[in-house]
């Protein structure tokens, strides 16, 4: 039987606070028609990229609520950006803080939630006749850069 140790969070009390940055990226594959609707500003729920940007920032700030062993980090900045391709949207999230532990999980959480919000806003365009999503997918979520120190 596995028991959760109530003191399982890593003790960082003796670590020095230093500048830290992490950037994560991920993609959602969509139909070319959906990309055209996004570019034309005709998505029924509004601008999915604007909503995804706000969702990304909110998610970064809520990371310790979602990932139990993450420390609460005093964030310096969060930047979300998007690239539209022919059949995808790429989301990027860059997070910075001066603290005792890194911000990779925050960047990954931000990208993940941004992509989920895009899916939510365009799902009516992506469904097939049976209500399924035959080609919509979120992929390649990863940390592409991590910096520690000056």
Q: What is the pLDDT of residue 122?
A: 98
Burial 19-39 (b: 16+ CB within 10 A, else e): ebbbbbbbbbbbeeebbebbe
9 belongs to a structural domain = no
- With bands split at pLDDT 50, 70 and 90, how would you rate the model's confidence at 9? confident
**pTM of the prediction?**
0.94
Q: Helices 104-126 and 48-61: crossing angle, nearest 10°?
A: 150
> Other C-beta atoms within 10 Å of 68: how many?
9
27 belongs to a structural domain = yes
139 belongs to a structural domain = yes
What is the per-residue pLDDT across 41-99, written as a single tens digit (0 to 9) for each? 999 999 999 999 999 999 999 999 999 999 999 999 999 999 999 999 999 999 999 99
Range of the domain at 132: 18-148
Q: Is 120 marked active-site?
A: yes
- Report residue 85 as tokens: 């391709």
Q: Is the pLDDT of residue 33 over 80?
A: yes
Q: Helices 32-40 and 104-126: crossing angle, nearest 10°?
A: 100
12 belongs to a structural domain = no
Of these residues, 79, 87, 120, 140, which one is catalytic? 120
Q: What is the pLDDT of residue 150?
A: 79
**Count of positions (residues) in the chain:** 150
Dihedral over alpha carbons 82, 85, 88, 92 (to 10 degrees): -20
Looking at the structure of the chain, the number of domains it has is 1
């Amino acid at each position: 039987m596995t028991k959760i140790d109530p003191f399982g969070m890593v003790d960082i009390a003796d670590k020095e606070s230093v500048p830290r940055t992490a950037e994560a990226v991920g993609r959602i594959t969509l139909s070319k028609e959906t990309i055209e609707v996004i570019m034309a500003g005709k998505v029924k729920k509004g601008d999915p990229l604007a909503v995804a940007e706000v969702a990304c920032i909110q998610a970064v700030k809520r990371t310790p609520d979602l990932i139990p062993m993450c420390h609460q980090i005093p964030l310096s900045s969060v930047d979300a950006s998007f690239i539209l391709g022919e059949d995808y949207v790429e989301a990027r999230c860059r997070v910075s803080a001066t603290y005792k532990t890194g911000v990779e999980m925050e960047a990954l959480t931000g990208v993940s939630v941004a992509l989920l919000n895009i899916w939510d806003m365009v799902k009516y365009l992506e469904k097939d006749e049976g209500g399924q999503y035959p080609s919509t997918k979120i992929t390649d979520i990863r940390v592409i850069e991590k910096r520690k120190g000056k």
